[in-house]
Amino acid sequence: MEEKTIELITKLALQALEEQQNHTNGFMVPVGVSARHVHLTKEHVEALFGAGHTLHKKKDLMGGQFAAEECVTIVGLKLRAIENVRVLGPCRSKSQVEISATDALKLGVKAPIRESGNIAGSAPIALVGPKGAIYLNEGCIIAKRHIHMSPKDAEAAGVKDGDVVSVKADNERGTVFNHVQIRVHDSFTLEMHIDTDEANASKIVTGSTVRII
């Protein structure tokens, strides 16, 4: 009887230690650095690249998205431009431009920090392609930092879709990112997305790992 009691206490102590270590270490997440890019409607694809044009896949991305061969030039209100901005497919219901804060300064636009798809009242921007140009009254944003997760990863991390967490990069900069949104979907691969400004400031590159704290 005494041996069983000791065995049970030992088991419980080991479990408690493991939970404490997991809490201390945090849930590790690989990082993908997201460069400026554009999402387009079918109508806008044709306006920029010609009637009947469809996007040509260059590289598969998570969630059924892909980097297209096509690129455009984006132009701010002061006619300052950034060339060779990658288009991502497939086509969306609304066109959207995602840039960094540094890009916004260069273009002279006041792009708000938003979750992808939330473009109401965002900054205006013009796009120029080989066959034409379009002007968006709204649609230019700085993407809110976020973590893509599968349901299994979310369960392991103890989070759910829509949660907001803090994340730390344990490198020489030791940067802590607050307000990181969790996005959960069956098609997602575990990865935190930050823009080039955030990556450069924290000395992070694609393939680095961070931990939820």
Do 177 and 78 fall within a single domain?
A: no
Indicate whether 4 belongs to any domain. Answer: no
Range(s) of the domain holding residue 163: 27-32+145-212
* Residue 176 bridge partners (DSSP): 168
Q: Reduced to 3 states, what is the DSSP secondary structure of residue 113?
A: strand
Mean pLDDT of the chain: 92
Domain boundary among 143, 165, 182: 143
Domain boundary among 100, 124, 143: 143
Indicate whether 18 belongs to any domain. Answer: no
For residue 63, the model assigns a pLDDT of: 87
For residue 7, the model assigns a pLDDT of: 72
Domain boundary among 121, 143, 165: 143
pLDDT, tens digit, 9 for 90 and up, residues 37-63? 999 999 999 999 999 999 999 999 988
Do 84 and 182 fall within a single domain?
A: no
Nearest to 49 by CA among 23, 17, 71, 26: 71
How many domains does the chain contain in total?
2
Average pLDDT over residues 177-185: 97
Q: Model-level pTM?
A: 0.84
* DSSP codes of every residue in 82-112: EEEEEEEES--SS-EEEE-HHHHHHHT--PP
Indicate whether 123 belongs to any domain. Answer: yes
Q: Does 22 have pLDDT greater than 50?
A: no
Please confirm whether the linkage preceding 30 is cis (ω < 30° from 0). Answer: no
